[in-house]
Structures are given as structure tokens and as C-alpha cells.
Structure 1
Amino acid sequence: MDHVNYALSTGQGKGNMFDDIRFVHQALPDLGVDDVDLCPKTGDLKLKSPVFINAMTGGGGERTEKWNAILARTARETGMAMAVGSQMSALKDPSERTSFEVVRKENPNGVIFSNLGSEASLEQAKQAVEMIEADALQIHLNVVQELTMPEGDRDFKGALERIQHISESLNVPVIVKETGFGISYETALKLAGASVSAIDASGYGGTNFAKIENERRPRKLEYFQDWGIPTAAAIIEVRRAFGGTVFASGGITDAQDMVKAFLLGADAAGLAGAFLKLAIEEGESRLIESVNELHEDLAMMMTALGAASIQDLRNCPAVVSGNLANYLLVRGFDPAAFAHPGKN
């Protein structure tokens, strides 16, 4: 509950670098809104919507059970996939299971992701998947959060080996995600050899878990509050190293951010804090309405760009400038490639 409350009070961060991307308008798109197909290509993850509810809630008693029920019904009504928050609490305390199990109860036929940290064993991964009859398992990487957390882990050896063992042994796909500090090219390259199905770039610019954990400790570790790879840059880093499904998250709040994420190479986009805040402040009906609006806005912008599918957006030119362009140049990526996608 500390994490949820501080996430709501600290809000979404800034600095995901999406503002440094500008679409090149196509005045002859030769496309109608009804021609746009929003179903992404995500392999064995089988997503129907390019938008999904990312991991955040569960394990906080009746309140998080209520919120998970709202989010699960929203996912059911809008065709979105949904990830639950870390299930380690329920593995340690069976009384917390209902705050996760409610998701499958409310959305019996939907796509649901389990969630555990990289410290989890194969047996714990199997238990988490069984608990909610999950279609995939998210394994989250949260080194900076743990280091900032007063009671957090201080040893991160063996994580890649555990991830690979789980990926090769589990009977559902494995997704590896950060918790808002971004995944680099180097990390994505390691994960590409670990049999994972998807990577969520989960960049800097959304909910800041270093900031949240600093609220819980007497001496703040200020140096971690501005730590991480901005979301737009993280998507590019991951896509250059990984040929599987790429998810984008980290401060994504509207359809324009999503279209930019897809143009950079993401296959789907996850929202967490923005959805929860809307559910709590304006209610379930408004949350469902807002997701439908996101789908409508995506189709409208894709029509204006002449992109009939999420995949087609990678062929749409855009100008990358400012801090994002500088970041890419220093990291060895060519920002001009996005202005001339046909030449790649």
C-alpha cells in the first residue's frame, strides 16, 4: 500500500523524450479509418489490443483486490491484456492470493500476465502462473528500486541464469521488464540469448520508484531520483538488440505517445499509474471509456500517417531531434534513420 499511495501522490514523471519526436505528415495516406487494424503482432502472447495494463497492484489486502477487479473488468470490456503486480507477497502470505485471483475471476478469458522479481525460483514462477492461470509471466528487474528501498535486496548475482532457466522450463512465455529505469542495448542483448519472448523497455519518465522508495527512508538517495534511460531511447536500445516482441512503458499517457513508441519499434504499450489514477478518481466507467478513446485516437493518427497496422508505423518517417537525437548519436544510433525509414 505504501507503493500504491506514493505512486499516486508523486504522480507521473517527465523526461521520457517523446517530445523530441515529430511525425512527418502524409497528405495522401490512401487509407480510411476503417482500414486500420490495431491488433499487434506479438507472437505467442496473442494480444488483441496494442494497449495493456501494466503491473502495479495486488498484495495490499482488500483495497488492491478491489482495484484489481476494476482493472480486470476494464481489460475484459476493452480487449486489453493485463499484468498483476508482484505475486511474491501472495507466495509468502496465502491470505493475499485473493487480491490476485480476482483478476482471473473477473476476466476468465482474457490475456493475463503473472509477475515476479528476478530473485524468483522456477518453482515460485510455476506457483505464480498457476495462481491466476496466467498466459505469460513477467519477470521484473528493479535494481535501483531495491537499492533505494530501506529493506531491499543488495545482491543481484545470478539473475540472468535464473531468467534463462525459467524461460526454458516454464510452459508459458516469459516477458522481462524494468520498473521504470529502462533496459539498455547491452542488457537486451543478454536477454536475447536467454530464451525470453518479450522485453518491456520500461524507461525513465513514468512512475519513479526511486522517488517512491526515498519517501520511505530517513536519508534520501537523491542520486537515484534522476537515474535511468528515457523511455523513447530505451525502446530503440531494446529493438536494436532484440528480435522478439518489444513492449513500451514509462510515462506513456496518451495515444500520441503510443504511436511514437510503435514508430520507434515497440509492438504494444503498457500503462499503469495513469489507468489506476483514473479508476480511483473518476471510476470504472470512465476508465473503460478512456481506453476506447485511446483505440479511436490510435486509428485516427495511424490513418493520418498512412499506416494500416502497428507494424506499418515503422515505415512512417519522423524527425528525431533535441536531447533524444543527441543521446542516440552518442550511443552509436543514427537518429536520421527515422526520417528515412525506407532507406534502412
Structure 2
Amino acid sequence: MNSETPDNGSSRPGRKDDHVRLASEQRGDAPPRTDYDDLEFVHHALAGTNPERVDLSVTVGDWTWPTPFYVNGMTGGTETTARINRDLAIAAAETGMPMACGSMSVALEDPIAAQGFTVIREENPNGFVMANLGAGRGPEDARRAVGLLNADALQIHLNPVQETAMPEGTRDFSEWAHGLERIVEACPVPVVVKEVGFGLSRPTLELLESIGVRLADVSGAGGTDFLRIENARSTGSDFSMLSGFGQSALACLLDAPARSPVLLASGGVRHPYDVVKALACGARAVGVAGTFLQAVIDGGAEGLVEVVNTWQAQTRALFALLGAERADDLTRTDLLTRGRLGEFCRLRGIDVEALSRRSQNRFPAP
């Protein structure tokens, strides 16, 4: 999965396979309660619509995507991860989902490893594909990564928590913002800045907007835990004291400033109901990694296609239940925040009562 650190006694290809293995092992744990479980819709029994009137397409910046969820950046660069990327790309091509790859740093250094990424465009020649690099890379690397995949966009991932716990990680983040600004200016395609599971705060989103970033994936806590992964790889320093660090995607969305990049969301998305909740909180589309990775591991491309078809049907049904013919309509549904998410909103000064009454002008009195 994601890392930009030069090798110091641990090969990057080996690290890629470790990340996939450890992420898959996390999926076998008992599912924890997350902030998605602390968000509820107020049920209005006569608010529904006909599923045949539901349009699942979403507008993300200048693009229109046929589905409100997409394959988020995961992996690539080894024989094992190349097979995973191939299956992900086949499923994305068949279902119309956009797709991001994992960190391409290794591909820029090793032509053989690059094949684990270029297979994405080979299997999905006409689809929407995002390249991926870390914040420590420069403009020329960004252009090369985009060129390798003929990518439509470039994800730049921010992973300071992961780097802090990573045995071979960097601890100097002081130039990341300046480097990111240079990439945004030089990149031939739009840049999507994303976290890797610890969230993008309000000040971070304000900073991203000020340096010209047009799109950001808040990528919050609750999904694959890279702190835990790096601790499992480490034989030295233990950073488990940071367990639970960061904010969830829903917390980031609800706390986002009025002036910010176009927002995407990911992190701990388990099923279509989580997708719908993220859309209701302001995400334009929702990235899915762990759940789709496990579908490929269990059943290959065909297994993921089956999962995506089911998700599309269920998402359409949920839209109809909530009276939403398009994703934008979900931002006028009534939301109740409870538990940890509700406490976050209270501490951050978010008007939870206003969230619970957003449909007032949507359902006129008889």
C-alpha cells in the first residue's frame, strides 16, 4: 500500500506484500464500531421515490462518474500485487467505477515493478484512472507517474502517522506543503490530495485550498489501520500508544470549511449504507479499499464485479428510501449525530440541531 520512504534494510516490494497481507488480516477481526454507526437518518415514511428515477452518477470537479463510489488507492509493484491490480482494473472496466492505484514510487525506480501498475491501464483502457504518489516526491516524479498510466488524475497521499511508526519511515514533514504546491502547479492533470486513514482537518483543508488543490479525499480513521500495520512490521520502537489517532471521514466532512477543495471520502467504508452517509455529509464520491480488496482476494475480478453490482442495486434502493433521486439530494436529509461523532461535533462547534432539520424546506406542508 502507501509508502514513499527510501529503502533502509527493508525492500519496498517486500513492504508492499506485507501491507496487503496485514491489511487482509485486519479484515478478519471483529468489526469495530465506527463513526458511521453514530450517524442516523431521521426516517420520513412518505419521503421516498421510485428507484427507477434514481441517477447514481455524480459530478466530481469537471468529471462525471457513473457511480458514487470508486476503487481507492491500494497497492502495486510486486507479482502478487500486480495480480490484484489486474483484477481490480478488470472489475472497474466492467462496472464503470473510477479506480486509483497504490503508491507508484517503486514503479519510478524499477521498470519491472512498473508492470504491476501499467496493467491497470492495459485492462481498463477507457476508464477513469488515478495515479498515486506520496507527498515527499517532486513535480518530475508526478509527471512520470501520470504518464505511466495515462492517468486522468493524480492522488498525492499524506501519511505522516504511518511514516512516524514505519521502521524505515521519514520523520521530517516540514517541506511537504511546499512540495505539494509545486506538484499542483506542474502536474498535467488535477491533483487529489488524500490522507491514508487519519483524516484531513479543517485547517488542513483550508491550507490545501489556499495552495490550489482542487480535490481532497478526507480518508478518515476506521478502515485499514496503517499505524497498526507498521507496528506489526517493526521489531523496535512501538507506537501503539497512538492507537485511535485521527478523525473519521464523517467527522472531517461535517467539520469541513465552506471554502475547501471538492471533497471525497474514504476510510472504513463497509457497505452501501456507509457510502450514502458519507454523501449525505458532503462527499461528492466515496472511495473503497479494504472491502473491495477482500472481494478480489476471495473471488478475483468476477467476485468484485458481483459485489459492485450488489452495491449499485442497494445504493439505488437506499437513495429511493431517503427520497433522493441524485446524490445532491442527500445533503438535504435530516441527520442525527450520536456517540463519539456527536461528541466531536459538540466540541468543534458544529450545529447538530441544524443537521437534524435540513429537510424543512424539502417537504412543504400539505
Indicate the TM-score class for this superposition, using the shorter chain for normalisation.
over 0.9
Q: Contact 2:102–2:132 (CA<8 Å) still a contact in 1?
A: yes
Moved more, 127-136 or 214-223: 214-223
Corresponding residue of 2:231: 214
**Displacement of 1:334 after TM fit?**
1.4
Determine whether 1:39 maps to 2:57: yes
Match of 1:156 among 148, 173, 189: 173
Between the aligned partners of 2:310 and 2:47, the Cα distance in structure 1 is 22
Match of 1:24 among 17, 20, 42: 42
Moved more, 92-101 or 160-169: 160-169
The amino acid that maps onto 1:21 is L
CA deviation map 1:103-127 (0-9, x unaligned): 0000000000000000110000000
Match of 1:6 among 16, 22, 33: 22
**Displacement of 1:282 after TM fit?**
2.6
Between the aligned partners of 1:117 and 1:236, the Cα distance in structure 2 is 26
Match of 2:200 among 172, 180, 183: 183
> Following superposition of structure 1 onto structure 2, how do residues 291-330 of structure 1 map, counting pairs within 5 Å?
291-330=308-347
Distance 1:254 1:30, change over 3 A: closer
Determine whether 1:255 maps to 2:272: yes
Determine whether 1:67 maps to 2:84: yes
> Following superposition of structure 1 onto structure 2, how do residues 1-344 of structure 1 map, counting pairs within 5 Å?
1-11=17-27, 14-29=32-47, 31-59=49-77, 61-218=78-235, 219-238=237-256, 240-342=257-359
**Displacement of 1:311 after TM fit?**
0.8
Between the aligned partners of 2:187 and 2:218, the Cα distance in structure 1 is 22
Moved more, 253-262 or 30-39: 30-39
CA deviation map 1:168-197 (0-9, x unaligned): 222211000000011101111100112112
Moved more, 2-11 or 207-216: 2-11
**Displacement of 1:343 after TM fit?**
6.5
Q: SS of the counterpart of 2:310?
A: helix
Q: Contact 1:16–1:250 (CA<8 Å) still a contact in 2?
A: no
Gaps of 5+ in 1: none
Q: Contact 1:76–1:107 (CA<8 Å) still a contact in 2?
A: yes
Aligned residues: 342
Q: Calculate the TM-score normalised by the size of structure 2.
A: 0.90
Between the aligned partners of 1:194 and 1:47, the Cα distance in structure 2 is 26
Q: Contact 2:91–2:304 (CA<8 Å) still a contact in 1?
A: yes
CA deviation map 1:151-180 (0-9, x unaligned): 001111121122122212222110000000
Between the aligned partners of 2:310 and 2:356, the Cα distance in structure 1 is 28
Between the aligned partners of 1:10 and 1:341, the Cα distance in structure 2 is 37
CA deviation map 1:71-95 (0-9, x unaligned): 0010011110000000001112222
Q: Contact 1:16–1:232 (CA<8 Å) still a contact in 2?
A: no
CA deviation map 1:207-257 (0-9, x unaligned): 00000000111232111222111222122223x354432111110010100
Distance 1:210 1:30, change over 3 A: closer
Q: Contact 1:45–1:135 (CA<8 Å) still a contact in 2?
A: no
Distance 1:242 1:296, change over 3 A: farther
The amino acid that maps onto 1:14 is P
Q: Contact 1:192–1:241 (CA<8 Å) still a contact in 2?
A: no
| Paired-residue identity, % | 40
Distance 1:116 1:241, change over 3 A: farther
The amino acid that maps onto 2:238 is K
Moved more, 144-153 or 23-32: 23-32
